[in-house]
């Protein structure tokens, strides 16, 4: 019987089980800091399954407290017994009569009593709010779809085609999208005051052929059913060729340039690269088509020149020259399944309100033991203290 009682207290009232659910997140933090191999490394979704179990556990606790709200004795005499004991001259029967008149309920032993308090309701709200947050968040992660692709002016792209995504994050219950429209970019808008990260004038084509013309810009999404389509940023991709005496190749390749904030010498896009023993940096100012290339081999600088794309054919540094053969212009498009954020925010607010109530209003409880003269009591709560010491 004692074992069952201890197990029940551990599951439904002890804070320790909740702390156990922080072990897996802590292991992942340690792994990222110390770069060590840890258990569950082979599992694809350990954090997700951990949160799923935590939401189930919190839901069970909410049901436990909800069921207890209809009971006369909610906490029970075996939970949270204080150590300090107070001796009073009044007999146990007199104290019991006074407390009963004040709304306290005694159990069958007549040695323990408690008064219904709003703090218990606060605990219910806390677990209910946490359950909403965890369950909704877990369900969203189970069905998560978050993909990124690069798209430029030209033919329409079918956003339902998984192979088109450069990066894709999905959950264990994710299915391939079938309701997304096709997307066609008809004009790129370079970054300016109105569009700090650039924009893409686009046409979205539904399955029935209906078209929607949209200027897609960050951070405003285009809503397509249960999905949101974002223009994250604009990217430039020059194809650069560096050679000696115009014949011996030194470097040839594409460099994807990312937005540079803050700008350096008015260059708004930048990236660096390593190719064998070469270290390179590329800068670009789209407003004036300025392209700058810095190429080093060890401590020697081979190239540190800039040109105006499509105006200047090449730039030469000694016997080394570089050419920008073409410039790719891309929009980084993100497609994500919309999360149920209103429910999550509502749950978080409910949990915070419940926590505030629970911390503000403490349980009013009393344990009595009859003595030859008077009685000894243990208690929690200011209301009990005021009535016993009055």
pLDDT tens digits, residue range 23-54?
888 887 777 777 767 665 556 788 888 999 99
User: Which domain covers residue 204, as residue numbers?
Assistant: 145-234+332-342
| 284 falls within a domain | yes
**191 shares a domain with 338:** yes
The mean predicted confidence, pLDDT, of the chain is 89
| 306 falls within a domain | yes
Q: Is the pLDDT of residue 250 over 60?
A: yes
Grade residue 1 by pLDDT with cuts at 50, 70 and 90.
very low
**229 shares a domain with 289:** no
| 8 falls within a domain | no
Grade residue 85 by pLDDT with cuts at 50, 70 and 90.
confident
Chain center to CA of 192: 30
**191 shares a domain with 337:** yes
Residue of 239 and 316 predicted with greater confidence: 239
Q: Is the pLDDT of residue 346 over 80?
A: yes
Q: What is the DSSP string of 122-152?
A: HHHHHHHHHHHHHHHHHHHHHT-EEEEEEE-
Q: CB pairs under 8 A, 24+ apart, for 85-90?
A: 85/376, 85/377, 85/378, 86/376, 86/377, 86/378, 86/379, 86/388, 86/389, 87/371, 87/374, 87/375, 87/376, 88/374, 88/375, 88/376, 88/377, 88/388, 89/373, 89/374, 90/374, 90/375
Distance (Å, rounded) from C-alpha 101 to C-alpha 336? 60
Q: In three state form, how does the secondary structure of 193-225 look? A: CCCCCCEEEEEEECCCCCEEEEEEECCECEEEC
Q: Is the pLDDT of residue 4 over 70?
A: no
CB atoms within 10 A of CB 125: 22
Q: Is the pLDDT of residue 269 over 80?
A: yes
**315 shares a domain with 251:** yes
> What SS3 class is residue 330?
strand
**What is the average per-residue pLDDT within 238-263?**
87
| 163 falls within a domain | yes
Tokens of 117: 């308090």
Grade residue 382 by pLDDT with cuts at 50, 70 and 90.
confident
Burial class of 298 by CB neighbour count within 10 A (0 to 12, 13 to 18, 19+): exposed
Residue of 211 and 248 predicted with greater confidence: 211
Lateral strand order in the sheet of 211-217:
157-158, 182-189, 199-205, 211-217
**253 shares a domain with 176:** no
pLDDT tens digits, residue range 111-156?
999 999 999 999 999 999 999 999 999 999 999 999 999 999 989 9
Burial class of 174 by CB neighbour count within 10 A (0 to 12, 13 to 18, 19+): middle
Grade residue 5 by pLDDT with cuts at 50, 70 and 90.
low
- The proportion of the chain whose per-residue pLDDT surpasses 90, expressed as a percent, equals 57
**Which element (helix H / strand E) includes 228?**
strand 227-244
Grade residue 166 by pLDDT with cuts at 50, 70 and 90.
very high
Distance (Å, rounded) from C-alpha 286 to C-alpha 8? 67
Lowest mean pLDDT among 42-51, 66-75, 77-86, 297-306: 42-51
**295 shares a domain with 243:** yes
Q: Which of 297, 325, 353 is the last residue of a domain?
A: 325
Tokens of 94: 């007199």
Number of domains in the chain: 2
Phi, psi of 101 (to 5 degrees): -65, -25
**What is the average per-residue pLDDT within 317-334?**
89
pLDDT tens digits, residue range 273-315?
988 888 999 999 998 999 999 988 888 888 888 899 888 878 8
Which residue reads 């970054």 in tokens?
A: 191
**227 shares a domain with 338:** yes
Residue of 1 and 90 predicted with greater confidence: 90
Q: What share of the chain is helix, strand, coil (3-state, %, to 5)?
A: 30, 40, 30
Residue from 231, 227, 226 nearest 215 by CA = 231
Tokens of 135: 């369950």
**245 shares a domain with 222:** no
Q: Is the pLDDT of residue 3 over 80?
A: no
| 89 falls within a domain | no
pLDDT tens digits, residue range 169-210?
999 999 999 999 999 999 998 888 788 888 999 999 999 999
**289 shares a domain with 317:** yes
**205 shares a domain with 316:** no
**337 shares a domain with 206:** yes
pLDDT of residue 19: 84
Can the peptide bond before residue 68 be classed as cis, meaning omega within 30 degrees of 0? no
Count of H-run helices and E-run strands, the chain = 8, 21
**What is the average per-residue pLDDT within 2-31?**
76
Lowest mean pLDDT among 25-34, 231-240, 249-258: 25-34
CB atoms within 10 A of CB 245: 10
Can the peptide bond before residue 47 be classed as cis, meaning omega within 30 degrees of 0? no
- The proportion of the chain whose per-residue pLDDT surpasses 70, expressed as a percent, equals 96
Q: How many CA atoms lie within 13 A of 74 on its CB side?
A: 21
């Amino acid at each position: 019987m004692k074992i069952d009682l201890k197990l029940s207290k551990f599951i439904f009232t002890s804070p320790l089980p909740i702390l156990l659910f922080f072990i897996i997140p802590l292991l992942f933090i340690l792994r990222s800091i110390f770069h060590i191999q840890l258990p569950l490394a082979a599992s694809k979704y350990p954090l997700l399954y951990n949160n799923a179990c935590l939401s189930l556990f919190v839901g069970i606790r909410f049901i436990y407290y909800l069921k207890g709200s209809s009971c006369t004795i909610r906490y029970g005499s075996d939970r949270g017994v204080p150590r300090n004991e107070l001796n009073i001259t009044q007999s146990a029967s007199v104290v019991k009569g006074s407390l009963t008149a004040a709304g306290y309920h005694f159990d069958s032993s007549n040695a323990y009593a408690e008064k219904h308090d709003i703090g218990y309701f606060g605990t219910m709200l806390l677990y209910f709010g946490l359950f909403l947050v965890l369950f909704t968040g877990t369900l969203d992660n189970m069905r998560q779809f978050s993909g990124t692709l690069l798209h430029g002016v030209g033919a329409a792209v079918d956003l339902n085609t998984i192979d088109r995504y450069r990066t894709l994050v999905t959950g264990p219950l994710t299915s391939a999208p079938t309701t997304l429209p096709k997307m066609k970019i008809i004009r790129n808008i370079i970054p300016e005051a109105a569009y700090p990260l650039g924009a893409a004038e686009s046409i979205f084509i539904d399955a029935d052929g209906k078209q929607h013309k949209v200027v897609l810009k960050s951070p405003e999404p285009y809503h397509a059913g249960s999905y949101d389509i974002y223009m994250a940023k604009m990217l430039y991709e020059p194809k650069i060729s560096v050679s000696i005496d115009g014949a011996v190749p030194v470097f040839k390749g594409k460099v994807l340039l990312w937005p540079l904030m803050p700008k350096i010498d008015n260059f708004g896009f930048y990236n660096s690269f390593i190719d064998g023993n070469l270290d390179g940096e590329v800068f670009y100012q789209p407003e004036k088509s300025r392209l700058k290339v810095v190429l080093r081999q060890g401590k020697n600088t081979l190239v540190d020149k800039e040109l105006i794309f499509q105006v200047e054919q090449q730039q030469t540094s000694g016997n080394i020259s570089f050419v920008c053969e073409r410039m790719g212009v891309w929009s980084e498009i993100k497609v994500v399944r919309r999360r149920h954020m209103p429910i999550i925010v509502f749950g978080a607010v409910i949990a915070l309100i419940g926590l505030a109530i629970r911390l503000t209003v403490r349980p009013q409880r009393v344990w009595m033991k009859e003595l030859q003269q008077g009685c000894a009591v243990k208690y929690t709560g200011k209301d009990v203290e005021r009535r016993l010491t009055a």
